[in-house]
């Protein structure tokens, strides 16, 4: 099953009503969270040597090499990705009402402004 992080996903999660300007940011946040969680699960299973080897692909920004390395060393990594994606979708779906409510709140001016000096 392919993972699609797009507007359809937001609809599925009950977030289709978000303002357009917030949808891209939320999709990016979901992607980064998924990437972090998958990376942590895989790192927990790697030896120090494997971590160093994999890190070289990451530092070189060699995505193709990294995926090939994962397929060779962790043939079940796609299952881990799917598992983490499903968990994340469920979390976001449960939070959808709060996310929508927060997005519909008018901007509240910050109380961090400096008070003008008292006039004498």
How does pLDDT run across 58-99, given as a tens digit for each residue?
Answer: 899 999 999 999 999 999 999 999 999 999 999 999 999 999
Residue 87 lies in a domain: yes
Q: Domains in the chain: how many in total?
A: 1
Q: What are phi and psi of 19, to 5 degrees?
A: -60, 145
Helices (H), the chain: 7-12, 20-45, 48-59, 63-73, 77-104
- Residue 28 included in any domain: yes
Residue 49: domain span: 21-94
The reply to whether 111 falls in a domain is: no
Asked whether the predicted pLDDT for residue 114 surpasses 60, the reply is: no
Residue 83: inside a domain:
yes
* pLDDT of the residue at 36: 94
Kindly state whether residue 8 falls inside one of the protein's structural domains.
no
Q: What is the pLDDT of residue 118?
A: 52
pLDDT tens digits for 14-69? 999 999 889 999 999 999 999 999 999 999 999 999 999 999 998 999 999 999 99
Residue carrying structure tokens 């895989």? 42
Q: Name the token pair of 25.
A: 């940011």
pTM of the model: 0.78
- Does a structural domain hold residue 77? yes
Task: Please indicate, yes or no, if residue 12 is contained in any of the structural domains.
Answer: no
């Amino acid at each position: 099953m392919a993972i699609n992080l797009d507007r359809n996903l937001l609809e599925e999660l009950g977030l289709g009503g978000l303002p357009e300007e917030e949808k891209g940011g939320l999709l990016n946040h979901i992607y980064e969270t998924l990437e972090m969680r998958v990376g942590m699960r895989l790192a927990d299973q790697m030896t120090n040597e494997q971590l160093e080897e994999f890190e070289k692909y990451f530092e070189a920004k060699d995505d193709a090499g990294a995926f090939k390395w994962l397929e060779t060393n962790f043939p079940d990594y796609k299952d881990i990705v799917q598992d983490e994606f499903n968990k994340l979708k469920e979390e976001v779906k449960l939070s959808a009402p709060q996310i929508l409510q927060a997005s519909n709140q008018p901007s509240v001016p910050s109380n961090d402004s400096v008070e003008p000096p008292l006039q004498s």
